[in-house]
Amino acid sequence: MRAFSRFQLIPLSFSIFAMFFGAGNVLFPLILGRNEGDQALIAILGLSLTAVVMPIVGFIAMLLYKGDYSAFFGRIGRIPGFLIALLIISLLGPLGSAPRCIVVAHSTFKEIFPHCNLPIFSAFTCLLIYFCMIKKRFVFTLLGWILTPLLLISLFSFILMGLFTGSDAPVSTTPKIQVFFHGLQEGYYTMDLLAALFFSSTILKTLKNKQRSTAMIICASLIGACLLCITYVGFGKIAARHNITQDNVDLLGALTMKIAGTHGGILVCITVALACFSTAIALIMAFTQFIQKEASKGRFSDKTILVITLLITFFVSTFEFTGISIFLGPILKLCYPGLILLTFVNLGAKLITQKRKARD
């Protein structure tokens, strides 16, 4: 356990941060900061409850179920549970979050190459995801030791520069409670609770010794959550201090160029694009594992499922950020509160069961 702690905790924490730090995690704190002005921190607090605290609770709950989707969602019935799980993983995978990551990566990439159109970028990205998925065992090494350290250095440098430049945030006249609940609801659109339930299983299956890794994964997830909170607060504050009027999807690229200049902005844009790419890999990985194990029951090969998944992802990405958001919005507003309730019920039931076993 000591050897695992010394050599795996940091890269695993970084991997978890990178898996969650996708399109919604980039844009929604910036949008809240820009729109709420001097009350940005209140909005970010609301966002953090649904986009950080609840995902960690869901992450831990699913770990207690050892990544067993059937047991977790089966509390509402075997068939309804399967259908809900299929809906959630489809929204995370090719029908929502994964193509959204590609769109946001493109929005930052085009700050460097303005003539790069979305379909070409999306096709190339899906091809890269395919090759990364073939070499699945290298994903966590890539995230933990290479991409995430580079991402954290560039992000925190960018945030520090943004905090010491710009002007005072505009005064907001919106009631604080309304700002808080607005942030709370915006956290739905990060889809992180949905992702947490499936990422936990992916991580457990990737690590060799599941029993020894559970406590370490929980510790790593808490470190990853702290990094997310720091990033959200930083993004909210700098967006409030800088007057950026671009569309939501172009907000990050414009902000980086204004704060960091051309060369620094290019570095941040590249690292954020890589972060979205790494999250897309994690989402596609979780989706294909679910389809292979729970839906197809091994009737189709991994490569066949992966190719079909990436074709759908490419098609959905062509609807761009606005089109994907219009599709996702009503579904998330309906499903997210119910999923929060199911998470707490399952967590409570598992803890009570373990307590009884300890007594016996």
Segment 33-83, tens digit of pLDDT: 999 988 999 999 999 999 999 998 988 888 888 878 888 898 888 889 899
DSSP state of 77: -
3-state secondary structure 200-236: HHHHHHHCCCHHHHHHHHHHHHHHHHHHHHHHHHHHH
CB within 8 A of 222, min separation 6: which ones? 56
H-helix or E-strand spanning residue 194: helix 192-206
In the prediction, which pLDDT does 256 show? 83
Question: Amino acid identity, residue 130?
Answer: Y
Alpha-carbon gap, residue 272 to 22, rounded angstroms: 9
Segment 309-355, tens digit of pLDDT: 999 999 999 999 889 989 998 998 888 899 999 999 998 888 888 77
What is the DSSP annotation of 137-164? GGHHHHIIIIIHHHHHHHHHHHHHHHHT
Whether 210 and 17 have beta carbons less than 8 Å apart is answered as no
Q: Quick one: tokens of 200? A: 């936990």
Show the domains of the chain with their CATH numbers.
19-359 (1.20.1740.10)
Alpha-carbon gap, residue 292 to 286, rounded angstroms: 10
211 or 58, which is more confident: 58
b/e 316-325 (16+ beta carbons within 10 angstroms → b) = bbebbbeebb
Overall average pLDDT of the 165-171 stretch: 82
In the prediction, which pLDDT does 46 show? 94
157 or 47, which is more confident: 47
User: How many Cα neighbours within 13 Å face the side chain of 257?
Assistant: 14
Q: How far is CA 74 from the centre of its chain?
A: 25
3-state secondary structure 300-360: CCHHHHHHHHHHHHHHHHCCHHHHHHHHHHHHHHHHHHHHHHHHHHHHHHHHHHHHHHHHC
Whether 166 and 238 have beta carbons less than 8 Å apart is answered as yes
In the prediction, which pLDDT does 316 show? 96
Place of tokens 């091994």: 298
H-helix or E-strand spanning residue 45: helix 40-48
Residue 304 Cα distances to 70, 121, 206, 298, 312, angstroms? 23, 22, 21, 11, 13
Alpha-carbon gap, residue 213 to 292, rounded angstroms: 24
State percent of the chain over pLDDT 70.
91
In the prediction, which pLDDT does 233 show? 93
pLDDT at 212 over 70: no
Segment 239-287, tens digit of pLDDT: 988 877 777 777 887 888 888 777 777 877 787 887 788 788 888 988 9
For residue 56, give the nearest of 283, 356, 344, 293 by alpha carbon: 344
Confidence of residue 224 (pLDDT cuts 50, 70, 90): confident
Calculate the average pLDDT of the chain.
84
